[in-house]
């Protein structure tokens, strides 16, 4: 491989095909759409303008973000709102050469405001179908439980979603991590597994490495969302590496929520070097400063030890970690090889 300039490397990062596996659709709600939906739905906002709202996006930790994130989501009321939200994300994902996206949604955030769960799922599923038909993106939904609420609420949410079972491929666990360990959700994850759903959970973002271990042991998750705090436990790192348990890492999110002071201090290079199946994702792109390509480009700019080999590895990992069949993965791998071969020529 010839040496690429940093500008050529950034172009390659943008151009390479990739899967996005950690993106909360409510976190892709841009301020402009918040204001448009607030007006359309007659929802009062405590901010005078798009600029005033954006100015409030200065977070000190996960909870300070979640407070604003749930307030933003309050404008989502109708099936059409959920369609528009997800469609706007898929258009941006297509521009970033995302070939496959498994996106999170938080039904409890909406059902608590009286929105029927079927309206949420149908609106999102409609956007997924259109993304596949018109943008050639494999678009799948993962239903997340809010971990600050009791497990009984999560169990009721899963049962309420079952009439739309065909529209989601898995369940996840998000919201306030500290004080809400994975084992709190043992029964609902067992039920999800029984239903043949994929299972993932946020762990080791703000919470300790023990939460990563209990997500694996108790919830039997197939991927860990974030997981960066595994580095505090070398035996856990070894375990994750040996089993190739994917970590869906979100660099810009980690800086915005003060998990790391700067991108230059992000420990993704160590995770990769340890042989972990690390992927790069945007988490809540409307709140954290950019979509998936922005995460790649800023991360590589901040960390000069990341080069072409790591770029290709991260894209390959995103395919390895996706919930799709081996033939589909092999097709993506071929596309990836072609893009890198062309860059080397
Ligand atoms: N962590 C936990 N919950 C979330 C996040 C996150 O990064 N984004 C949206 N809900
Ligand atoms: Zn997340």
Q: What is the mean pLDDT of residues 247-251?
A: 99
**Which CATH number does 6-344 carry?**
3.20.20.140
As a whole number, mean pLDDT of residues 220-240 equals: 98
When pLDDT is cut at 50, 70 and 90, the band that residue 2 belongs to is: low
pLDDT of residue 345: 85
Q: Give domain limits for the chain.
A: 6-344
How far is 326 from 322, CA to CA, in rounded Å? Answer: 10
26 is catalytic: no
Q: Is the CB of 175 under 6 A from ligand 1?
A: yes
**Tell me: the pLDDT tens digits for 300-327?**
999 999 999 999 999 999 999 999 999 9
Q: Is the CB–ligand 1 distance for residue 27 below 6 Å?
A: yes
pLDDT digit string, tens, across residues 120-138: 999 999 999 999 999 999 9
Q: 289-293, long-range: CB within 8 Å, 24+ apart, which pairs?
A: 289/252, 289/256, 290/252, 291/92, 291/93, 291/96, 292/18, 292/20, 292/23, 292/93, 292/96, 292/98, 293/13, 293/14, 293/96, 293/97
Name the residue of 27, 109, 203, 229 to mutate for ligand 1: max ligand atoms within 8 A of Cβ.
27
Ligand 1 mutation pick, 22, 26, 62, max ligand atoms within 8 A of CB: 62
Could you read off the pLDDT of 203-215 as tens digits, one per residue? 999 999 999 999 9
User: What's the whole-number mean pLDDT along residues 9-38?
Assistant: 98
Both structure tokens of 181: 């360990």
pLDDT (0 to 100) of residue 20: 99
Q: What phi, psi does 24 have (nearest 5°)?
A: -85, 120
């Amino acid at each position: 491989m010839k040496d690429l300039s940093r500008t050529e490397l950034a172009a390659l990062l943008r151009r390479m095909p990739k899967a996005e596996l950690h993106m909360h659709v409510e976190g892709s709600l841009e301020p402009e759409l918040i204001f448009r939906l607030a007006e359309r739905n007659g929802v009062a906002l405590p901010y005078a303008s798009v600029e005033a709202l954006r100015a409030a996006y200065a977070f000190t930790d996960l909870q300070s973000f979640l407070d604003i994130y749930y307030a933003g989501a309050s404008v989502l009321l109708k099936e059409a709102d959920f369609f528009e939200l997800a469609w706007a994300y898929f258009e941006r994902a297509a521009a970033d050469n995302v070939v496959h996206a498994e996106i999170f949604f938080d039904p409890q955030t909406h059902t608590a405001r009286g929105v029927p769960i079927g309206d949420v799922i149908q609106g999102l599923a409609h956007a997924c179908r259109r993304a596949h038909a018109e943008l050639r993106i494999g678009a799948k939904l993962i239903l997340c439980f809010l971990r600050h609420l009791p497990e009984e609420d999560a169990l009721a949410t899963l049962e309420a979603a079952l009439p739309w079972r065909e529209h989601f491929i898995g369940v996840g666990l998000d919201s306030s991590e500290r004080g809400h360990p994975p084992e709190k959700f043992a029964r609902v994850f067992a039920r999800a597994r029984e239903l043949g759903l994929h299972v993932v959970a946020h762990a080791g973002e703000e919470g300790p490495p023990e939460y990563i271990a209990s997500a694996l042991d108790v919830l039997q998750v197939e991927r860990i969302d974030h997981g960066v705090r595994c580095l505090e436990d070398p035996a856990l790192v070894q375990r994750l590496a040996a089993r190739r348990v994917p970590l869906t890492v979100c660099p810009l999110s980690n800086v915005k929520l003060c998990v790391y002071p700067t991108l230059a201090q992000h420990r993704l290079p160590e995770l990769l070097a340890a042989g972990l199946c690390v992927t790069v994702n945007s988490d809540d792109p409307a709140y954290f400063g950019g979509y998936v390509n922005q995460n790649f480009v800023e991360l590589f700019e901040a960390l000069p030890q990341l080069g072409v080999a790591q770029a290709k590895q991260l894209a390959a990992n995103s395919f390895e970690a996706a919930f799709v069949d081996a033939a589909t993965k092999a097709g993506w791998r071929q596309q990836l090889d072609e893009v890198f071969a062309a860059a080397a020529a």
